[in-house]
Amino acid sequence: MEKFDVCIIGGGPAGYVSALKCAINGLSAAIIEKERFGGTCLNRGCIPTKVLYSKAKYLKRLKEPERGFSVNGFNFNFDEIINYKDEVVSALTGGVEKLLKARKVNILYGAGKIAGKNGTAFRVEINAKDGLNAEISADNVIAATGSVPLMIPSFNIDHKNIITSDEALSLRTIPGSLIIIGAGVIGCEFANIFSEFGSEVRMIELLPSILSTEDKEISKFIQKNFKSRNIDIMTGAEVAGIKALGSNGKTGAEVELKTGERLEAEKVLVSIGRKLNTSGLGLEETGVKLDKRGKIETDAHNETNIKGIYACGDITDGPMLAHKASYDGIIAADNIAGIVKEKDYGVLPWSVYTNPAIGTVGLKEGDAGLSELKYSVGRFSYAASGMALAMEEPEGFLKVIADEKSKKILGATGIGADIPELIAEIASYMHFGGTVFDIESTIHSHPTLSEIVPESALDSIGEAIHKFNPRTAKKDKA
């Protein structure tokens, strides 16, 4: 039986990054993947949605051309757009496989399962689709098996008319009408895409607002933006059940609300959260502890309660984000190699690709973490940025939160063109414990959207340069 220092189960952003980092750290590594490398992110999530997002933005520009232009007639071929999306996905997933090979990571295709111990090492079985099963042993195992769309029985997901985000990314034609259940991140990203391509979109959300985990002002901004685009939004609405319509000459699907109201559409997309892939890995048999939400409990090194078994990504605590998963993978790989590192999600940026896009890092107004702190909020509008006006992208704003005394940056959130890139800059300051004055003393190239960052930060102390109505907060250089 071949033996490795580390065996990684799952080849998504947590697994493949940890495998590469193990190899970089000089460890022998084997990675087991049952489908294609890249996981949800590359195959059915971040990347394919961004292809469609980018095409939808281009389409918006064609429909609403910039000043001085008129577009007289245009066409799009959605099938060709999906072909392009597939090409991008193949290029990137193939790239991951090449990277693994270049680093001499042993690749095994199949479903991995911890099958017990072989001395001090773990025995890992690989059940391949072609029946060519194998077994290896490893001193350490990293479980990085990710998540799948959550399904509930009464929603009768048939993957044809009642679909998840997986199928929504492979539709070859635009549905005439689309009901989206769940107005979280996935629901809102798809509402933006399909409404731009011409679907009549209706969203049904259980909670009182859409994007309820975002800043309240931003959630309202998107709600208004969606309504202006004729996206119908029902909040505080509970779904009793969904059924496919395949008889009496009807097609599509019907959603029944708890109130008895029935709504029909060509397709119903269910995006109500994700389910963790933790079963069948042999974890329970090995004694690995799960928390009450079914997530694998890990310590600051991403090691579980069983020495030598690590877990990373969606199946562990923290938000289900690709970059958080990769970060987890690096922490595990370093600790296995003896480079002691503790994880810290305090500065974790994230984005939602609506149009305009949303970006956030750290704390935002309304967060429990701010309740004990004295802070001030600076704000700057895209409409006051020369670059945003030149780009004809005046919509949006950035808010920066700073500690009132130390002026340390506690968080930032905003909406507007390329905002995720601005948030990335703020995340760097926060990582190094940066203050408003650190941002001020960093020279920002002109003209760029990045100038919005110092303006927003300085506004928290009343010193934004290009603001007619500055805050009156006193500068208190602690």
Residues that bind ligand NAI (CB under 6 A): 181-187, 189, 204-207, 212, 239, 271-274, 319-321, 350-353
Q: What span, in angstroms and rounded, lies between the C-alpha atoms of 165 and 154?
A: 18
Q: Which amino acid is at 118?
A: N
- Residue 47 or 141 having the CB closest to ligand NAI: 47
Q: In sequence order, what are the residues at sequence separation of 6 or more whose Cβ sits closer than 8 angstroms to the Cβ of residue 423?
A: 349, 351, 359, 360, 361, 412, 413, 414
Per the DSSP assignment, residues forming a β-bridge with 350 are 360
CB of 211 to ligand NAI, least distance (A): 7
Of 2, 6, 3, 4, nearest to 337 by C-alpha is 6
The structure tokens listed for 407 are: 């002026």
Residue 142 or 168 having the CB closest to ligand NAI = 168
Q: CB-wise, 185 or 449, nearer to ligand NAI?
A: 185
In this structure, what token pair is assigned to residue 35?
């489908």
Q: Say which DSSP state 161 is in.
A: S
Q: How far apart are CA 171 and CA 422, in angstroms?
A: 33
* Cα–Cα dist 95/20, whole Å: 13
Can you tell me whether residue 351 is helix, strand or coil? strand
Query: Between residues 150 and 473, which has the closer beta carbon with respect to ligand NAI?
Result: 150
Hey, what are 207's tokens?
């909670």
CB of 164 to ligand NAI, least distance (A): 9
Pick 271 or 316: Cβ nearer ligand NAI: 271
Which tokens in the block code for residue 231? 């996206």
Yes or no: say if 366 and 381 are a contact pair by the CB < 8 Å rule. Answer: no
Amino acid identity of residue 112, one-letter, is: G
Closer of 273 and 470 to ligand NAI (Cβ): 273
Residue, CB closest to ligand NAI: 184
Where on the phi/psi map is residue 360: left (φ > 0), alpha (ψ -120 to 50), or beta? beta
Beta carbons within 10 angstroms of residue 89's beta carbon: 19
In this complex, which beta carbon is closest to ligand NAI, that of residue 321 or of residue 330? Answer: 321
- Cβ-based neighbours of 281, under 8 Å, separated by 6 or more: 9, 112, 113, 114, 143, 145
For residue 77, give the 3-state DSSP assignment. Answer: coil
Of the candidates 159, 301, 446, 466, the residue annotated as catalytic is 446
Burial label, 230 (beta-carbon count in 10 A; 0-12, 13-18, 19+): exposed
- Strands 358-362, 409-416: pairing kind: antiparallel
Q: How far is the CB of 454 from ligand NAI (least distance, A)?
A: 26
- Cis peptide, bond prior to residue 394, ω within 30 of zero: no
* 296 touches 283 (CB < 8 A): yes
- Does residue 159 have an active-site annotation? no
Residue in 321, 320, 319, 301 with CA at minimum distance from that of residue 311: 301
Minimum CB distance to ligand NAI, residue 136 (Å): 31
Whose structure tokens read 């130390």?
Answer: 406
**Measured distance between the N- and C-terminal CA atoms of the chain, rounded to whole angstroms:** 62
Which positions are catalytic? 446
